[in-house]
Amino acid sequence: MATRPTSDRMRETLFNVLAPRIERARFLDLYAGSGAVGIEAASRGAARVVVVERAEGALKVLRKNLESLGLRGVVRVESVSVAAFLRKIRPESEGFVFDLVFLDPPYDAEDEYALALELLGGEAARLLAEDAVVIAEHRRRDKLEQRFGVLDRTRVLEQGDAGLSFYKPVHSS
């Protein structure tokens, strides 16, 4: 699967939407690729940034980017599959609870969208802060489900060939 970076325009749109929430946020970037989105979150004041990527080529670029920007100790790199990360992390013992989660699997890996969103809306929902936002970048023509477990889509932004679907956890009263 080829890495497809988030376009500069789409990244700008994403962070314009997240601007009121990014400072001091705990940010998780799944399928991080070169790390551009996680690096942007760190540069905009996120308190903690974790990036998850397992492709060796992308990891080399990601680590080089972090090194050149002096962010190697600021951004934590997890070099495992997204599913393995979401299943293994225990928020209570490792302090992993996230305010913002961004996922951008390769477009051709359609099953990865459902896998990650189902985990985040199910067994990995423990990683989400009560008012968390989960954002999935996808092809504009690919419509993601309205609901994944406790995650409910609240917004879709489209730009060019890409779309961003925003999800929030729905808590029962």
Q: What is the pLDDT of residues 51-76, one digit of tens each?
A: 999 999 999 999 999 999 988 778 99
Are 136 and 100 in contact by the 8 Å Cβ rule? The answer is no
Q: Does domain 8-169 have CATH number 3.40.50.150?
A: yes
- What does each C-alpha distance from 42 to 10, 47, 87, 138, 149 come to in angstroms? 17, 7, 25, 23, 29
Q: What is the mean pLDDT of the chain?
A: 89
pLDDT tens readout for residues 22-38: 999 999 999 999 999 99
pLDDT interval class at 103 (50, 70, 90): very high
In this structure, is the dihedral angle defined by the CA atoms of residues 28, 29, 34 and 37, taken in order, positive or negative?
negative
Checking DSSP bridges between strand 48-52 and strand 26-30, what pairing results, if any?
parallel
Predicted pLDDT at 1: 43
- The length of the chain is 173
**Which pTM does this prediction carry?**
0.91
Residue 3 clears pLDDT 80, i.e. is over it: no
Domain spans of the chain? Answer: 8-169
Which token pair is 57? 């080529």
Which residue's entry shows tokens 């002096």? Answer: 70
